[in-house]
Amino acid sequence: MSSADECDDLVSFRRDLHRHPEPAWCEFYTTSRIVEALDARDVDELYVGPAAIDGDARRNVPDDDTLQTWLDRARAAGADPSVLETVSGGLTGAVAVLDRGDGPTIGLRVDIDALPITEAREDHVPADEGFRSEHEGYMHACGHDAHTTIGLGVLDAVADSDFAGTLKVFFQPAEEKGSGAEPMAKSGHVDDVDYLLAVHVGFDHPTGEVVAGFDGFLAVRDFQAAFVGEPAHAGANPHQGRNAIQALGTAIENLYAIPRHGDGPTRVNVGVVDGGTATNVVPEAAVLSGQVRGETTELMEYTYAEAERVLRSAATLHDVELEIPQDVGASAPSAESDDEVAAVVAAVAGDVDGVTTVLDRAVLDGSEDATHLMRRVTHNGGRAAYVGVGTDHPGGHHTETFDVDEESLRIGVEVISGAVTDLAERRP
């Protein structure tokens, strides 16, 4: 399908993104390059930034200074100024629509953001071949550069095929903070999708292996709690203080003690705490960041509701104020890959050159905010699957030596575009 030239283009595109990793909601250069690439193609509709996501539904948006810093970097790296204007303020991402007449609407979700990790300088292909990160301290250490590239490649491949229907490619920001999928879901662009595919490379599956449908996404929700009391001299007037660290202590003890649920596994973790100023001052402020999970969204929500009551009561118990900010932290429901869609993917993958193993199912050990989009689609009667494209990766995900085998770009494009065209022949 893809000619050698097209493959070269994909590799070159991926390496450009790799050199310009941008964290969640700062994907200014990335969005600009996507838009530029789409403009050069024959897409029927293109939604960028505020037109692609519901900006009010974003969480974990960096402060203005950080946004400005990354906007400046994007501009300096040659991003299109008009795109930058559109996405400034942390409204990144894009949705491209290919309308090829009567047929189902098929969605493909790819995520585009990078991580705050310093990339390896030695024994590392990007360093050796000159496309190491130019943003020191940041890195595409999870393969989203490959995902974005596959999104573009699929668009090309489907456009070149006799596909009948509508293809929507969702270039989603802020997956690493678990906060980009929800605003994209709320934009409504997935509401008419009959079949949704999400794609991820690696996960310890080598090049040549394809997972037709991942399952076992734990529902997850981060939370933060800020206790604010009253300082006092700990020697002279301990009774005048309202002790935020005591509230923190009570919260820690009781969060972990939230009852297990009879219907399935749940998790609670207090990951980060910070509080107080001096040994001789009754501590005025303390902050806690934590996370709840559940095998299902309901189990996660049960645990979160318990956690919130614990936090509020711990504050009351020590007579301190509590703030639980709602705009920070990751959030993702649980999801399962649809059998029918996975079967189509499996069938297609078996015929793709270079694919040596097709796994019908695998369990993803973790969370992914793609589940927001998957649930929205299934809620509306559609079907969704999360597809894995194996790639040899020297270091693990989220480590400084992570890299992808670029051969997997081609495989990914062929598997996904093949599945898209096959699915289009079905009538949902």
Is 326 one of the binding residues for a second copy (CB under 8 A)? no
The reply to whether 59 sits near a second copy by the rule CB under 8 A is no
**Contact pick of 228, 234, 347, 359 for a second copy (by CB under 8 A):** 234
> Cβ–Cβ contacts within 10 Å for residue 111, how many?
29
53 belongs to the binding site for a second copy (CB under 8 A): no
398 is in an annotated binding site: yes
Residue with tokens 């596959």, as numbered in its chain: 150
Residues between 260 and 299 with contacts to a second copy, criterion CB under 8 A: 260-283, 286, 289-291, 293
Distance (Å, rounded) from C-alpha 162 to C-alpha 102?
A: 12
The verdict on whether residue 176 carries a ligand-binding annotation is yes
Tell me the two tokens of residue 311. 């936090």
DSSP character for 286? E
105 binds a second copy (CB under 8 A): no
Does 317 participate in binding a second copy (rule CB under 8 A)? yes
Single residue of 38, 74, 330, 377 touching a second copy by CB under 8 A: 330
Among positions 364-423, residues that touch a second copy (CB under 8 A) are 365-367
204 binds a second copy (CB under 8 A): no
What the block records as the tokens of 90 is 């942390």
Does the protein bind a second copy through residue 118 (CB under 8 A)? Answer: no
Q: Is residue 147 annotated as involved in ligand binding?
A: no
Give the nearer residue to a second copy in terms of CB position, either 238 or 325: 238
Beta partners for residue 292, in sequence order: 221, 268
Asked if residue 116 binds a second copy (CB under 8 A), the reply is: no
Q: Is 144 annotated as a binding residue?
A: yes
Two tokens at 233?
A: 């001299």
Is 239 annotated as belonging to a binding site? no
Min CB(310)–a second copy separation in Å:
6
CB-side neighbour CA atoms (13 Å) of 374: 27
Distances (CA, A) of 263 to 259, 295, 377: 12, 9, 25
**Of 108, 297, 339, 397, residue with least CA distance to 213:** 339
Task: Report the DSSP pairing between strands 281-282 and 214-217.
Answer: unpaired
Distance CA 108, CA 170 (A): 6
Start-end of H helices in 278-356? 297-317, 339-350
Residue positions forming the annotated binding site for Mn(2+): 142, 144, 176, 200, 398
Which residues make up the interface to a second copy (CB under 8 A)? 218, 220, 222, 233-241, 243, 245-246, 248-254, 256-257, 259-283, 286, 289-291, 293, 302, 309-310, 312-314, 316-319, 329-330, 365-367
